[in-house]
Structure 1
Amino acid sequence: MHCSLCIPEIVSLIFCETLNGAEQSLNHLNRDSAQTLAGLARTCKAFRDPALDLLWKSQCTVMNVLNCMPGDIWEVLDDTDAEEVRLKRAVLPTDWERPLIYSHRVRHFQYQLSYSYPDSAAFYEMLRMCLPPEPLFPNIESLLWETSDAALLPHFRLFIGPRLTSLTVSTFQSASHLSLLPTLATQCPLLQEVCILTSDGLPGHCEAVSFFVKQLTHLESLEVPCLDSVALDHLAKLPVLDLVHLHDQTPLSPVLELASQTEVPSSCDIDMLTLTVTDARAATDVLARLHASPICSLVIQFPKNTSADAVQEIYNGVAANCNHASLHTLSIALPPAGTTDTAADPEQIALHAVPGTHLFPTFLAHNAHVTAAEIARAWPRITSLDLAGSAFLHVPPRTTLRALLSFAQLCPHLWRLSLPINAHSVPKWRKAQTAAEARPTQRRLRSLHVGESPVGTPLDVAAYLSSIFPRLEWVSAGKENTRDEPVRTEVLAAQRKWKAVEAALPVLRKVRVEERYWTRREYEENSD
């Protein structure tokens, strides 16, 4: 055998490549991969440890470990609706010698009722009493605990260890469950990825989660229900924090906010911040606490009964507290499709609709009126822009095809544009007297979504679009997030016309190429 095969790391890499990257998955190995690794472990001593490490790396049940104990300890009763595991005799310390050899190799554990076994709280209570002093999986690195059975949640502590870096727990449903959090950070000081979900309206969840988060110093990804101002200040000091997702964030307590006002948070880079807020002030409060942290991507979702003034407050908070140089993705919208009442009263919609003149004033040097040209001038490096219309009621857009000239002239990097357009009439080209009046051409735009926009003659519209966006390939109409709703007749007719616009684009490109070829050839012949 080659001497390189005596190095465990090399052998492990070979096994991983042979199993097509199975070591990267948190799911349990399939039967063929498990049999292959078991055979390799029995082949020679050099293969044993690398093969066993991969074989035991990811688990979804404790029975694989417990089955390594002597056969006279457990019995499985299957005469009931669900199989039940019971002790046949007392467990002795020597019974754990063989199981602990393998449990030390477990790095990832998933508990999901769909395939985890057993699923009895009584069994885990019995297991807790039988366990030796050390953790069941002392080298575990990630734990996914997803079950709706509240009685099982306290037993997830059986699976945590000091090397745990990733933790997902769903769902905390009572105050006793929240009481597990304060000491969890002490037991798992290396946590980097945390996802904690709680039931709606659970008393004290913000305080308990915030206390837990304030003890974590290695966080890279965090998803929790709500945080207070002190916890937010702590996040701002973490140097490697990338992702933050706050569910049902409420406005910060004035007392806590005042107490931490004098502390200036250090700057950290946040790759993505997602806020689902109960009202507008909650969003502005969070952004104010993290104002020194550059945010690359920001998503804010607010309740559907939020007033136009409150939404304007959110935009003002984003403009005042976000670093414009670092922010490259911004989404401020209602909750995802499926949670919006499309049958709302139009009069009520009018109270909550935010007009285009109020969307970006603080981004655009406090202009009183916002046009497509001003938006394009404000964001010359933008690559994707989505200015969708109302999700409740179709209102004919005021933006015309002429507005696209601004994007063609001022946004050379724009490759995707979503903008309702009134395309009933096509602008006439003016005679180019000077270079400033020359027709702009933008060659990066590939996709145009126009929503429920009216359209006139498809060929005329296609010729206009193709002339300023010669590489435009896709033109789509209608709602991007359909929910099996009936579509009005006029909307269907407009969609068919826009489809005809899209179909004409490749033909126009071909004609343009041919014209350039013959023009160049004619010029060369005349030059000769």
Structure 2
Amino acid sequence: MHKALLVVEVFICILECLARDTIRAPDEDVTGTGWGALAALAQTCRTLSDPALDLLWRRLHGLEPIVRCLRGMDGGLYRRAMHVFSDEEWGVLQRYVPRVQELTVDKWSEEWSLKILRSLMFCTTPLLPNLRQLRWVCGQEADVVYIRPLLSPTITYLDVTFGYYDTGTALPFLQSCHRLCPNLNSIRFRYEHQHMATEVSRAICRAQNLESIDCGLIDVAAFTHIAQSLTLKSLSAWLPNDRSDRLENLRAMRDLAWHSSHDLVPFRNVKVINLHIEDLSFMIPLLQPHNQLFNNISLTFHVVPTTVILHAFFSALGSTPRQGSVRRVELRQLTTLDANIDRHYEPLIYDSLCPLLSFPHLRELVLELDNPVSLNDEELMMLARAWPRLEVFKINCRSGWRVHSSANPLTLKGLVSLLRLCPMLCELGLSLDVRDVPLPSIDPRALQVLDSPSSEAQQGPWGVRNTSVTLLQLSDSPIKDPALVATFLAEILPSLEAVVTPRTIMPMIVPPVHPAQPNLPIPFQNPLIPFQNPLIPFPNPLPPGFFGGAVSILRAPAGFKYWNLWSQVNEHLRKRAGHRCRRMTAMTGS
């Protein structure tokens, strides 16, 4: 053994890296060879002792390393069925399997794992007696029946992804998992078939003392049961959004608020809540009279909120008990912007966001709404002053701000103020009018005579320098001089790698049925799919056979006409980054 391995800290670090390699499949690892380190060591681990064995066996990706410890087990296992373990083989395995605490079975490891589990279906001895966390992701739902030998009272975390087709094989598992795993405190169920929602909802209601629930669609009864839990700390779920269910959902929310008391507050101990609901207004009754101390609230909904609803929601969220607890707020509304309807929604304005000024510890604010946004530099500065610890600030990166021409848009001066007041920012997405680049607040010639460690030199000519932001998301952002803007951004954001602007949604032709040739092939893309190349101009005149067709312009951020100029900004940023790398390489070489 190398002398360096005699240092316990070094040896432990190496073993940790080997063990960590078995958690998940490496990217683009088609053959699954990324777990060869543990599989190879498993054959020689008879020479290792604690704590090496505990670290090597703590996390397994599949059950292959287990059978590799047995004599005579080689690649031939792929070509034959797995036999039931003999008493002698069980004795060998008992040196290793009690050390396994986390297991992942997915498409990369399911062939070996399922073959082993089939041989253990009628075995009364648990294969992994100290298993704590189980992740099961198999392509065929029928394979979930083989999870039975792995379920034990020691499991506290269960993550199961079911197949798409509802074959009914998952039903026995869902009906019995609360008995087989009575100490479960965290569950994560993924399923695409809506018929699974009823059984998953019942399984959630049967489980006791759950602290974390992450699932898809559940019914109202399960949601009501979850809301009254005293142990739950984290919830992620979908509520039915069919037209017939909307009234029932709203009634359930109001009933929870109406029948609650100081001793029975809905979600009283929940810190993280992530809900997919129909309407943002459904949440207001749950927030208004209560004192839940949410740290992280994330809501996805369908109905575009009004200015009044937005203000009411933020006001309810900003009640006194929560002012020191909220760290993250995320609202995502599923877009309703389409090609044929010109919708006019009420704007998101400063007054709507004012209740959030009471959150001094806010770290993340993400809003993605179809509402246009109206904020100016002064209003942004007032918001930024209230959030000195803000790390993520993104508003309408997808749908754009669609600022009215009469409004005062945000400018680069507002960006400088935001970066100065929120020095911890690392993710940023908004709309800016960058046609006017502000003059430096510090004379660049003066910076040349200052010592490099001085604060002025480190802050740059505009008085601020953020090294955490690497990607800037901009929408509806008009630009005039790409080179000047790139220089400005590189000075205040020296780590910036690129500016992301929304790609085009070009005008689409919806052709009529050709009277002579009803199946005439269309020489363009499907009219429901936008053109991929943003630089291809719209054809004029229209091609033969398309006269009388409807020309539909899918709504796109207004700033897309500046997309080509922003591409030039990115080119300037890449060149500056290349020059900087070459300069650093030269300095290192000298």
The answer to whether the superposition gives a TM-score over 0.5 is yes
* Match of residue 22 from structure 1: 18
* Match of residue 120 from structure 2: 127
CA shift digits 1:382-433 (9 cap, x unpaired): 534323366389777766567554565586125465332334467899xxxx
* CA 1:25–1:283: 2 relative to 1, 3 Å: farther
2:393/2:428 contact within 8 Å kept:
yes
- SS at structure 1 position matched to 2:229: helix
Amino acid at match of 1:373: E
* Match of residue 103 from structure 1: 97
* Match of residue 420 from structure 1: 431
* CA 1:397–1:216: 2 relative to 1, 3 Å: farther
Amino acid at match of 2:255: L
Range moving further from structure 2, 254-263 or 377-386: 254-263
Range moving further from structure 2, 389-398 or 180-189: 389-398
* Match of residue 275 from structure 2: 275
How far apart, in 1, do the equivalents of 2:225 and 2:55 lie? Answer: 42
* Match of residue 233 from structure 1: 228
How far apart, in 2, do the equivalents of 1:498 and 1:477 lie? Answer: 10
- SS at structure 2 position matched to 1:199: coil
In the TM superposition, residue 153 of structure 1 has moved relative to its aligned partner by 0.9
- SS at structure 1 position matched to 2:81: strand
- Structure 1: segments with no counterpart, 5+ residues: 430-439, 507-528
* Match of residue 492 from structure 1: 563
Counterpart of 2:477 (choices 447, 450, 453) is: 453
Counterpart of 1:385 (choices 382, 393, 416) is: 393
* CA 1:293–1:86: 2 relative to 1, 3 Å: same
Counterpart of 2:107 (choices 91, 113, 117) is: 113
* CA 1:424–1:493: 2 relative to 1, 3 Å: same
1:138/1:163 contact within 8 Å kept:
yes
Amino acid at match of 2:265: V
- State whether structure 2 residue 348 is matched by structure 1 residue 356: yes
1:360/1:370 contact within 8 Å kept:
no
Counterpart of 1:316 (choices 312, 317, 325) is: 312
* CA 1:331–1:68: 2 relative to 1, 3 Å: closer
1:399/1:422 contact within 8 Å kept:
no
CA RMSD for the aligned pairs? 5.1
CA shift digits 1:466-492 (9 cap, x unpaired): 8xx973444835228999833257333
In the TM superposition, residue 127 of structure 1 has moved relative to its aligned partner by 2.4
How far apart, in 1, do the equivalents of 2:384 and 2:56 lie? Answer: 52
- SS at structure 2 position matched to 1:228: helix
How far apart, in 1, do the equivalents of 2:112 and 2:574 lie? Answer: 58
1:418/1:450 contact within 8 Å kept:
yes
The TM-score with structure 1 as length reference comes to: 0.66
Q: How does 1:231-270 map to 2 (within 5 A)?
A: 231-234=226-229, 237-238=231-232, 241=233, 243-247=234-238, 252=249, 254=251, 258=255, 261-262=260-261, 263-264=264-265, 267-268=268-269, 270=271
How far apart, in 1, do the equivalents of 2:159 and 2:355 lie? Answer: 38
Range moving further from structure 2, 20-29 or 394-403: 394-403
- Structure 2: segments with no counterpart, 5+ residues: 25-33, 358-373, 441-460, 506-529, 538-560, 578-590
- SS at structure 1 position matched to 2:349: helix
1:145/1:170 contact within 8 Å kept:
yes
- SS at structure 1 position matched to 2:292: coil
Amino acid at match of 1:187: L
2:396/2:430 contact within 8 Å kept:
yes
Counterpart of 1:139 (choices 112, 121, 130) is: 130
Amino acid at match of 2:378: A
In the TM superposition, residue 147 of structure 1 has moved relative to its aligned partner by 0.8
Percent identity of the aligned residues? 16
In the TM superposition, residue 320 of structure 1 has moved relative to its aligned partner by 0.9
* CA 1:35–1:92: 2 relative to 1, 3 Å: closer
Amino acid at match of 1:196: F
1:139/1:163 contact within 8 Å kept:
yes
1:163/1:188 contact within 8 Å kept:
yes
- State whether structure 2 residue 332 is matched by structure 1 residue 333: yes
* Match of residue 542 from structure 2: none
- SS at structure 2 position matched to 1:181: helix
In the TM superposition, residue 211 of structure 1 has moved relative to its aligned partner by 0.6
How far apart, in 2, do the equivalents of 1:354 and 1:283 lie? Answer: 20
* Match of residue 435 from structure 1: none
- SS at structure 2 position matched to 1:317: helix
1:112/1:146 contact within 8 Å kept:
yes
CA shift digits 1:255-299 (9 cap, x unpaired): 6863752422585462x443333443555577679x533333333
Counterpart of 2:464 (choices 436, 443, 449) is: 443
CA shift digits 1:58-84 (9 cap, x unpaired): 434446546777979x99797xxxx45
* CA 1:182–1:402: 2 relative to 1, 3 Å: closer
1:275/1:301 contact within 8 Å kept:
yes
In the TM superposition, residue 148 of structure 1 has moved relative to its aligned partner by 2.3
How far apart, in 1, do the equivalents of 2:161 and 2:304 lie? Answer: 32
1:37/1:52 contact within 8 Å kept:
no
How far apart, in 2, do the equivalents of 1:481 and 1:190 lie? Answer: 52
- SS at structure 1 position matched to 2:422: coil
In the TM superposition, residue 137 of structure 1 has moved relative to its aligned partner by 1.1
- State whether structure 2 residue 139 is matched by structure 1 residue 148: yes
Aligned residues: 452
Amino acid at match of 2:188: C
* Match of residue 522 from structure 1: none
How far apart, in 1, do the equivalents of 2:575 and 2:85 lie? Answer: 77
The TM-score with structure 2 as length reference comes to: 0.60
2:412/2:437 contact within 8 Å kept:
no
* CA 1:397–1:98: 2 relative to 1, 3 Å: farther
* Match of residue 499 from structure 2: 476
